[in-house]
A and B are shown apart, each in its own frame.
Chain A
């Protein structure tokens, strides 16, 4: 490939996306209005588990403005198949039938039972009140450990169990490693359930196409391409007649990475009624009907030498599936199973995950998707190990890091990390944070018995990014098709269209892909238009999730642009009557080596390729090239974070004072955008660590059912971030890039909780579960006062929704 100096890549090019967004001219799905469009609303179950004995919609149907009311009987037969789960983690995994509307039984609060179609959304909502549903209450199970007991109520009677699957992974001889280990540390951590909360709720518009009999679906989604294939399949529409458009999408974080009931319903309703239909989610509905994140009970055991060198790691997870399996539900925790060994070089590892059904909203991908859970587990227990062997947290990590490497290296989980230099990242973050100064301040406060203690918490993490290698995805039960596609075409005017299969919703692909293409083609980013998000414009794509867009899709843009230059070079040689090998390309100009006056611009070559009059013998006209990039391996960004907290020992209040992060995601395309991704990621991780928790009561009611009750941190709760980076290129792709969208969310929760515990270490506190609310922190301090100092017993009570033995009062209070 022709390589030339990078002019725009690596620079902070201001975002091309912004003008529409700062002036209010963006096209959100809810902004789409089509002639004759009707609105639909869903009646959702007020119970977590009940039989539906009767539904009477006659009163609702009689209301002015109501066009139709449908229940499962009217809708589900219109489906060719139910809502799919695409991740078959084991062959005997139990996968329940999941239709857009519940038929005989509702299985979680918010399960939809009927749909009203009306002239406007107020009328549709009003009519919901006039549908009478008779429910016969069934026993509810919300806690995983209860759900696995033999006398538990069953979410799906037909399976005879609430266990969805058990997935094991083992390498080396773990039992042998533990048998003679001088040090063994055992912990239980609770990964509380989270509500992803993209600020734009979901919305969908389906428009029947009178010409080809198909449909155009506009939807607030991260995955228009996957949705096109799947919606066509489950709704019985020929794939080529289905078009899906993701207009401007207001955040996703994994919660818009799914095939939702409302999207299928929109197609079915548009087909039934022959008119466009629209559904817009409300926030309280979002909290019930959009997938949740996390929700695991993690049991970890680590064996080590007396110097703290890891000998083996055992991990057992219970992972809450909720009531149904959405597209990736069962695979999120098992994906995390590959990441518990973290950045540490050891050999013996065993992992077992049980997926469990409960009467709650299904879980699925949420920023990090399995990896924040894993990083949290290993990074928390590394601190416990440090305490046990009596070394500093940074030292225990250093003793176990891999030596830096730049070629794929086998891990205890049987995958291959691409390139690491944790030592470099740790050194840099220690300096960035003035670590010595922080420890000195901590000592001062301790010596002074300051009621507000200082905490310094570490995490050194890695993550698995760039979901791609099709063969690997197939091997883990995810079907394959992990490639990403791009088309780069020079137009007759010398400007450029880049078509990408990625689907940005805040990540700035339009700007970054412009930079990549501009550098290869010798044009400016303003000369490049990036087209995306509409399957009619960008027919091939695998969409945006798992920090894959740059590492797979951005690379595809780079490769396609390279192919354009190769072809253009042949045309230039022909035009200049020179040998192709003698042609040089720089700054958008082809010239003959040694005779710079003999030259022709890329724009002129593009014009010639378009006209097709004077091309080399046998060459086809036009400068347009495709790439479908399928890399050989994942990428593994890594980093070292330090979270500095001030913990008020009298009130339990935690303030994050500073946050220092050194992240390594390989070479940077746009530092402004990359830093922005890190900022947002860290904030979302701090949100889990300190503030957020979705709480269900015993009856399966979501107690945190609106933003009034679910604490999303605002600007006062989030600190200023101090960032730096190291650059270790990945051998997995020609740009060496690794991905950065989830790094902050993965690195920050353990750093924050380790920090809070560090602040309280002289009080004897060794464990607090997330979120570290004032009540939990205060309770931990009080409990530690009453126990022997230095205890390492984890709080096993967990939170109401996630664990069982609430008889132990520790940590069981609400916020």
Chain B
């Protein structure tokens, strides 16, 4: 261990069972994205599941008509901030996947602006992931991924793809955008799976 002379730190640690190693708590909601913020009109917006014999799509209105869940979750960004008790509304990914026949093990989420991120289907099912369109009781801001983003709070937040437009189901794992640019394939914050080699 290399001690940094005179460093004490501020120790906004938070509850250890809720703040993963190497993270600090913030009350802000910082933004990380690789390009400009897309602005897709809702009447052109769809969410589609590809990679199946019969792809399935929803318009914005059709998505709104699906059962809405409200979840309160902690989120963890790989840039080291964590935010507790964030409140989202959206549709469970379980509910969406119910409507396609598949036995895929992996999914690649795709988004406006060209962003992609890969996830095992296991990480998207079992009540662990949502297509979220509201944050803190308000429609989701474009800078935070509105009109809708994936919400997969048990993984680092880059997996919660902003401006999500669908999933491509796959038999094999294909690295997404950050995953081809140095970041971990799975991104479990409790295992500090930040970068390649973690």
A and B found bound together: no
